[in-house]
Structure 1
Amino acid sequence: MKKHVIVKVFKVFLLTCVTYQAYGQDALNKLQVIDTHSDLLWQSDYQSLQGYQVQPEWTLQAFEQGESVVVKNKVPLFGWIMNERNSSSRQQYYQLLLADNLNDIKQNRGNLWNSGKVRSSESTAVVYGGNDLSPGNLYYWKVKVWDEQGNESEFSPLSCFYTGQFVEGYETTTYPLQRTDQTPKKLIKREQEYFIDFEKAAFGQLRLNLDSPVADTILIRFGEKITAEGKIDRNPGGTIRYQEYRLPLSQGTNTYQIKFRKDQRNTGQAAVLMPDYIGEVLPFRYVEIEGYDHPLHYTDVKRSMVHYPFNDNASYFHSSNEILNQVWDLSKYSIKATSFAGIYVDGDRERIPYEADALINQLCHYCVDNEFTMARASHEYLLHNATWPTEWIMQSVMMAWNDYLYTGDLRSVSAHYETLKAKTLTGLEDSNGLISTKTGKQSSDLLKSINLQRDTLRDIVDWPHSGILGLGKKEQGETDGFVFRPYNAVVNAYYYHALRLMARLAKEMERADDFVFFNTKADKLYNAYQKYFFDKERKVVRDGIGTDHSALHSNMFALAFGLVPEASKKEVVAYIHSRGMACSVYGSQFLMDALYEAGAGDYAFQLLTAETERSWYNMIRVGSTISLEAWDDKYKPNQDWNHAWGAVPANIIPRKLMGIEPLEPGWDTFRIQPQLADLEYAKIRFPTIKGYIDAAYKQSANRLEAQLSIPANTVAEIYLPLKNSRGKPVLYVDGKEYKYELSQNWIKLPDLGTGNKEIIVVY
């Protein structure tokens, strides 16, 4: 095909398949700072009253009334996004001004800090370096940048933040909870009642405008589930919610709010409680009003959804596979809907934070919204409030690394460094290099160091186990028959991963001795793992020392965490394939990571789009609009219908299927390496702290068309699939033929710079 024809076809594809962020022609050609954040918050002047966002007023009185963002760090952090231009745009210098009054800052005077023209590419984690700030004050700042070509931007629009009483050390700045009022999608009058459907479940409250000529009483029912007859299920099972209330009506027209009863379990000592300015909430989708004989209009019914501030437009995904699209929508919405407590919790049954829930929630949240503070606050909560599973303790190290990788901000790691070291569980290590909870090493000092106060450590592998939570003793649970031994292959896979990540954090902290210490232990463990757990004849991972059983979990965790030798990956992947989805929704995170890391994207895609009982589509089919705690009620009879750890595709689709992941902290360098399986087309927006990454693909047997939008101040390592071809593929970038390298089964593109790139591969 001639070059001009290729370019023409490709531009038609661009117009039909993807919409890009646009700042206008001037913005494309002129260097600009288009957004800023203070202490990782894009809305550092956020103010609300009883959960309803109000227009921010830059006065002390406004910040001290209602609920506001309050910075409690003596040394805050600043960051910004530069505009995406047609030419490469990377920051060479910046200048930041901060003042305690509007007059100075408007006159470009930083009376508390003028950084001067600083030679630096840093734009995600610039730590305050001026005179001491005071508590209970307002501060104003702005920044300008210079790029590699010497172009100078204007100063950014002004930003403002309010300081509260300073804490010693570091504390994550967070938003207050937000309310969003919603009207029903359906309101149907039946003989004895009104039936109301909000289309999606949400944690919230209900207000009604009702008119009654006389004092009367009506019955109101709430539920997450309906029967086959279209009525609210009054006995939904498990922890699927149903409640009913009798509401006395006063004469005349009045507005009523239903006051939900507190649940004894999810408002207990370990639960995260709702703040007073919000009050108690209930997850519900459906409402029935019985005994009300007067006209009821859509505007008379308001559900007040409670959630952490969330930008619905920060991400999108759409593809040629409708099931995948529905799975994405379910998963993305689940992250917003389950943010109602301001800290990641395990659904409505307990409302307790757990490390495993939080890790999955963290990765999903990063992929669907440009928001980092809820993940960090949840992670730090768990650092001080550990839970009992052995593996989950080590997930705190994983969360710390993710936090740094996605934000570029090392303050949280620095503040909690010693606790993170303890969370690697080196205190459980034996002379063979392996750790065990069964060899007498669970000392009180060790448990204290990891902030585990009410339990001892117990290996979990996956959840639930057989014989508990409504499962019979002969029902397998979600562990694929895993044989628990004192030395556990899954636990030690986590240990290896935690050691490697802790070594990387030590390096970033310039702790050379710790860097060597943790890497040395990881090297020893790798060798021990091959000796004790890897069956060299069958080329699979055994569950533990003293058993030949090989569960899915032993193999998928070893593969995900880099413990399977390259020469044996094909056999391990084949064994994993043979086991199917023999894990829980929690375990699926690591199954999918393992498959994509091993290049088994086609099989991973089959699992993402499966219609079996053990699939994400089944969550939709049974009627939930928020991800479930288990694949189906039968696999966890006490499950709830609002569990974010079931929303794994919210991070797997962007990170693995579309292949967008940070390689260096703060997205300085990131990778684009899609594994599209048989999708005809797919498009995505991925929010990052450096700006939006947009990608769109259209593929056929002998052709791949792509458009990528690479944020300013980043470097993208781009890999496109090398399909079976008789000849050498031809690569075009912006209509020009380009040279490239081959990297195994991938076409490795040269550094294309930033901005919008049009790419075609002809196989």
Structure 2
Amino acid sequence: MKRIFTLLICLAGISVMAQNLSTYDLTCENRVNPIGLDVTRPRFTWKIAAGGRNILQTAYSIRIATSPDFTKKNLVWDSGKVNTDESVLQTYQGAPLKSGQKYYWQVKVWDNQANESPWSTTAFWQTALLNPASEITAQWISSGIKADTAYGIVPQFRKSFSASKKIKSAIAYITSKGLYEAHINGQRVGDAYLTPGWTSYNKRLLYQTYDVTNLIKQGKNAIGVSLANGWYRGELGWEKKVNFYGKETALLCQLNITYADGKTESVISDGTWKVSNGPIQFSEIYDGEVYDARQEKAGWATATYDDKNWQAVVVKNFPKDILFSANHELITKHETFKPVKVLRTPKGEQVLDFGQNLVGWVQMKVSGNAGDKIVLSHAEVLDKTGGLYFDNLRNALAQDTYILKGQGVETYEPRFTFHGFRYVRVEGLKEPLNPDNFTAVALYSDMKPTGSFECSNPLVNQLQKNIQWGQRGNFLDVPTDCPQRDERLGWTGDAEVFSRTAAFNFNVNNFFSKWLKDVAADQNPNGAIPFVIPNALKGTFFDTPAGAAGWSDAGIIIPWNLYVVYGDKRVVEEQYPSMKAYLDYVRKAANNDLWNTGFQFADWLSYRVDDSKGLIGQKSAITDNYLVAQCFFAYNTSLMIKAARLLGKTEEVKDYEALLERIKAAFRKEFMTASGRLISETQTAYILALQFDMLPEELRPQAVGRLVDNIKSYNYHLTTGFLGTPFLTPVLTRFGRTDVAYRLLLQDTYPSWLYPIKMGATTVWERWDSMKPDSTFQDPSMTSFNHYSYGAVGDWMYRDVAGIDVDESGAGYKKIIIKPHLGDGLTSASAKIITNYGLASSGWKKDGKNTVYTIEIPANTTATVYLPTTNVPDIEEGGKPVSSDIKIDGIDGNHTKLLVGSGKYEFRVRN
């Protein structure tokens, strides 16, 4: 009887565990229930929830149907039971998908405890038009209005139509040459802004897919679309170029209606549409908008509106063979801010302070007489007198003007522009300024937040906030820079140095994958990659010498980073031809494997004595351009070795391995003395040489010594620029000088990461001294207060200070490394990241004579934990000696290695 009772208890335990095994957060191509995917072999990801530790998936089964009931007649694909522990980006293997079809899917899993989960909740995706050139029967239409120019009006297009029967579904496919905003029956379509986004328009134009079933009614309907310049025809770059992609904006719109009886009908843009001018008299990315509410046409996008005075559109024969669906996250509204104070400048101007440097626009409520003009002028900072500082905007007006119609309380926000600002000057009010009537709205790509970091130092915590706000403000469909001035371009170098940090803070898999397609599209025939993507600098000085170290290398470095962080092998497969072509370009540009030709940015914006009058009293930190280039030549080649190995390109692996050895030999011959001294005695020179293993192993310790001596000579200040900064602290940690890395992180005088914070920064600055210690400004021609490049230190904070990293042999956090590096100045630090497997976290806190490490590892992953002691009895877990479900894997230097599975752990280590 006792044995039977025990057996029943065991079986009950198994039953409970089985009930606890489930799946959640199902995504298709990294998105939840996406609409409009043109991916013919989509990939599925799910997370596993289970009680207990050491949970691993052993098998999964996916089923896909055209109906959520998953009956046999509707079944499209059943994977069967697939024996694998892979749960991320698993590829569809069924029959060819159909355009515009909604597919439903579920997954179930089995684990290593012999448990089987129930089927997951039902998820879905809907395909786009998989052959848009033939399936989009809509015609391109343009306004034909003379005032519709690069500096003119924003026209409004409309079409009335009837839906004669009961509607089952209605799907809209819309794109434009320019920026569009659509309405159906007076209701806005979708929640995205600045659509269709920015791509290399003449090679890749994206369209958006919207489910508008709820907006269409049986009977009379109307669709209306506003069409603005945007990046297509408006100003691009500081040379004020207009009409860069074309002189005419145009609309392409198709509405596919399916009726309850199965019949279909399409409403398309064609010659039957009508057009008129609207209330937006001027709209431009850099300069802002002018909106005259007196010109509004009430109900213009409704079926009852009388458009007899509108004119016919002009049909255009623009190509449709460059159309692709937008598979990435679009730009949407996010955080809102109310003014934290109202200021009066020395000139008597009324200024709203929103407390945060952000990118977006201001919503306002005003009242007054018809013709009254309210002008909002945007700025990032105040000058030392308390006045608004506009000089760093250069030629960007950054101003929105609203002209009242005089009908009570009126509301306004822009539609086709954006600004980088914290402060807004308000002019034209006839009544006292009420801050409650103004709201700042943050606008950025709808990336999902994934990572967080905090520690015991409030300034470092603010640095983390600044890094994240810098990313928010500059990730608007492309990784831009300087969102306040006449630039806002997709600089490759900025994106490259920040990409790994970016991938911790937010899920940028789709964001960068989309941008990388334009990298390949705009790549020069010789393989060189332009400095900005999309290449808005074509035809300028910066276009001619395309192919510079650290900038053009984004075409190799970012795809590999996406693979490491997300386990996304497909992005490497798709980008590999571009990656290879770029490395081939560099090989040809090099002389005997020495890249010593062409234009180079080198260590852009590194410390110069004359920047702030040499406040630390030392020489400028100028690193030889070609020393930097040679190091990145090696870096690119090392990544190509990994990429070729990942893709099974054995012969190319051998070629690149031999090339790498020659590159290092050429470096040592050209830039290093026999004793290991480099020709540039700068922090960046030694950082890059150490980071990329350019020096013989026996000479590396003295190189570390020279690096540390250099840092000490600047009184523990950094002097690095864009290319040296990301590797400064990681190199110090790698070579045992975390103590110096901490001193640099916690330094709060110029130049340092915390100096801008002491000066009131809420985002990362473009230069170490964008605002000088005396509150004057750097050269206004290049002084941005929202520029994420130096925020690349975040990567070290997450991976080394908090200690949460990914083992490349288990890319995508399938294999996790937990290895915190403690240092003086902090008593605690922690980081969390939502991986494709679930939440992973690592934190530590000094507690008297002990340090407590709290760790969480998601299901279906494993981790190697490094604890700083060589004496295993000094380690406790959960208040007890290390248990048998944790494997002690020996001693590594001054650390004990532990192998752990999923679950939560609390280790206490005697100091």
Q: Is TM more than 0.5 here?
A: yes
- Does residue 1:102 correspond to 2:256, yes or no? no
How far does residue 658 in structure 1 lie from its aligned partner after superposition?
1.8
CA drift at 1:362: 2.0
Contact 1:97–1:110 (8 Å) recurs in 2: no
* Equivalent pair of 2:36/2:325 in contact (CA under 8 Å): no
- 1:127 and 2:91 correspond: yes
- Cα 1:737/1:172, change in 2 over 3 Å: farther
- The alpha carbon displacement at 1:430 in A equals 8.9
Separation of aligned partners in 2, 1:189 and 1:614: 30
Shift of 1:575: 1.7
Q: Which residue of 2 aligns with 1:307?
A: 444
Superposition deviation, residue 83 in structure 1 = 2.0
Structure 2 residue 477 is matched with structure 1 residue 342: yes
Structure 1 position 77, deviation (Å): 1.0
SS in 2 for 1:667: coil
1:509 Cα shift? 0.8
Tell me the amino acid that sits aligned with residue 463 of structure 1: W
CA shift for structure 1 position 660: 1.7
Aligned to 2:893: 745
Alignment of 1:655-666 (within 5 A): 655-663=799-807, 664-666=810-812
1:224 aligns with 2:380: yes
Matched, 1:509 2:647: yes
Q: Report deviation, 1:338.
A: 1.6
Residues 1:398 and 2:557 are matched in the alignment = yes
Which is further off, 128-137 or 662-671?
662-671
> Within the alignment, does 1:207 sit opposite 2:388 as a pair?
no
Where 1:758 maps in the other structure, the secondary structure is strand
Per-residue displacement from partner, 1:619-671 (whole Å, max 9, x unpaired)? Answer: 22334322111111366651212212132233221122222221122222121
> Which letter does structure 1 place at the counterpart of 2:427?
E
Equivalent residue, structure 1, for 2:458: 322
* Letter paired with 1:173: N
User: 1:571 and 2:727 equivalent?
Assistant: no
Aligned partner of 1:34 among 8, 16, 24: 24
Matched, 1:704 2:851: yes
* Residues 627 and 644 in structure 1, CA contact (< 8 A), matched pair in contact too: yes
1:667 aligned partner: 813
Question: What letter matches 1:684 in structure 2?
Answer: A
**Amino acid paired to 1:593:** P
Q: Could you tell me which amino acid in structure 1 is paired with residue 791 of structure 2? A: A
Secondary structure at the counterpart of residue 116 of structure 2:
coil
Change (3 A) 1:194 1:100: same
AA aligned to 1:135 is S
Which residue in 2 is equivalent to 1:257?
412
* 685-694 or 120-129: bigger deviation: 685-694
Report the residue type matching 2:558 in the other structure: M
Query: For the residues of structure 2 that align with 1:525 and 1:750, how far apart are their CA atoms?
Result: 37
* CA shift for structure 1 position 78: 1.0
1:268-300 per-position Cα deviation (integer Å, ceiling 9, x unaligned): xxxxxxxxxx51111111123234243554442
Whether the 8 Å contact between 1:383 and 1:419 is mirrored in structure 2 is yes
Partner of 1:118, secondary structure, is: coil
State how far apart, in whole Å, the 1-side matches of 2:704 and 2:376 are. Answer: 52
Give the 3-state SS of the residue equivalent to 1:358 in structure 2: helix
1:232-247 to structure 2, matched below 5 A, reads 232-233=388-389, 235-237=390-392, 239=394, 243-244=398-399, 247=402
Residue 101 of structure 1: how far off its partner (Å): 1.9
Give the match for residue 498 of structure 1.
636
For 1:526, what is the secondary structure of its paired residue? helix
Post-superposition Cα deviations, 1:590-646, rounded to whole Å, max 9, x if no partner, equal 223322332322211222221121122222233432211111136665121221213
Q: Please, what is the CA RMSD of the aligned residues?
A: 3.4
| Residues 1:283 and 1:730: Cα distance change in structure 2 (over 3 Å) | same
The SS at the match of 2:69 is: helix
Instruction: With a CA cutoff of 8 Å and minimum separation of 6, indicate the structure with the bigger relative contact order.
Output: 1
Q: Which residue of 2 aligns with 1:718?
A: 865
Query: Are the counterparts in 2 of residues 681 and 697 from structure 1 also a CA contact under 8 Å?
Result: yes
Farther-moved stretch of structure 1 (328-337 vs 704-713): 328-337
What is the CA distance between 1:367 and its match in structure 2?
Answer: 0.9
1:681 aligned to which of 828, 838, 841: 828
| Equivalent residues in 2 for 1:449-468, closer than 5 Å | 457-464=598-605
- Aligned partner of 2:787 among 643, 649, 660: 643
Report the CA distance between 1:120 and its aligned residue.
0.7
Paired AA for residue 288 in structure 1: R
Q: Distance in 2 between matches of 1:246 and 1:498?
A: 48
Which residue of structure 2 lines up, in the alignment, with residue 417 of structure 1? 576
For 2:57, the equivalent position in structure 1 comes to 91
Specify the code of the residue in structure 2 equivalent to 1:587.
Answer: G
**TM, length-normalised to structure 2:** 0.67
Residue 511 of structure 2 is aligned to residue 522 of structure 1? no
Q: Encode CA deviations 1:139-174: one digit per residue, 9 max, x unaligned.
A: 111111111111111222221112112379998820
Q: Give yes or no for contact 1:366–1:687 (8 Å, CA) kept in 2.
A: no
Aligned pairs for 1:119-198 within 5 A: 119-166=83-130, 173-180=327-334, 182-188=336-342, 194-198=350-354
CA change 1:501–1:657 in 2 (3 A) is same
Structure 2 unmatched ranges of 5 or more: 1-15, 132-320, 523-528, 532-545, 712-717, 771-776
Alpha-carbon separation, structure 1, partners of 2:564 and 2:387: 47
Distance 1:682 1:431 in 2: 44
Matched, 1:283 2:424: no
- Compute the TM-score of the two structures, normalised by the length of structure 1: 0.79
CA distance in 1, matches of 2:733, 2:858: 25
The Cα offsets for residues 351-395 of structure 1, whole Å up to 9 and x where unpaired, read as 222222112332122111234211222233223332232342333
Q: Does the CA-based 8 Å contact 1:207-1:303 persist in structure 2?
A: yes
Query: Which residue in 1 is equivalent to 2:750?
Result: 613
Which is further off, 199-208 or 111-120? 199-208
What letter is aligned with 1:712?
A
Greater gyration radius: 2
Percent identity of equivalent pairs: 21
Within the alignment, does 1:44 sit opposite 2:33 as a pair? yes
Mapped to 2, the partners of 1:383 and 1:576 lie a distance apart of: 37
For 1:590 and 1:477, how far apart are their aligned partners in 2? 22
Change (3 A) 1:493 1:187: closer
Counterpart CA distance in 1 for 2:451 and 2:619 is: 32
The separation in 1 between residues aligned to 2:738 and 2:395, in whole angstroms, is: 34
2:166 match? none
Structure-1 residue corresponding to 2:155: none
- 1:420 positional shift: 1.0
Which one has a larger percent strand, Structure 1 or Structure 2? 2
Q: Distance in 2 between the 1:737 and 1:426 partners?
A: 57
CA apart distance, 1:221: 2.9
Shift of 1:709: 0.2
Q: 1:228 to 1:711 in 2, by over 3 A?
A: same
Query: What residue identity is the alignment partner of 1:345?
Result: T
Q: Secondary structure at the match of 1:198?
A: strand
Range with greater deviation from structure 2 (345-354 or 504-513): 345-354
Q: Is the contact made by 1:241 and 1:284 (CA closer than 8 Å) also made in structure 2?
A: no
Asked whether the 8 Å contact 1:353–1:382 carries over to 2, the reply is no
170-179 or 636-645, larger mean C-alpha shift = 170-179
Total equivalences in the alignment: 658
Within a 5 Å distance, the mapping from 1:344-359 to structure 2 comes to 344-348=479-483, 349=485, 350-359=487-496
Structure-2 change in CA distance of 1:489 and 1:400 (3 Å): same
Mapped contact 2:834–2:840 kept (Cα < 8 A): yes
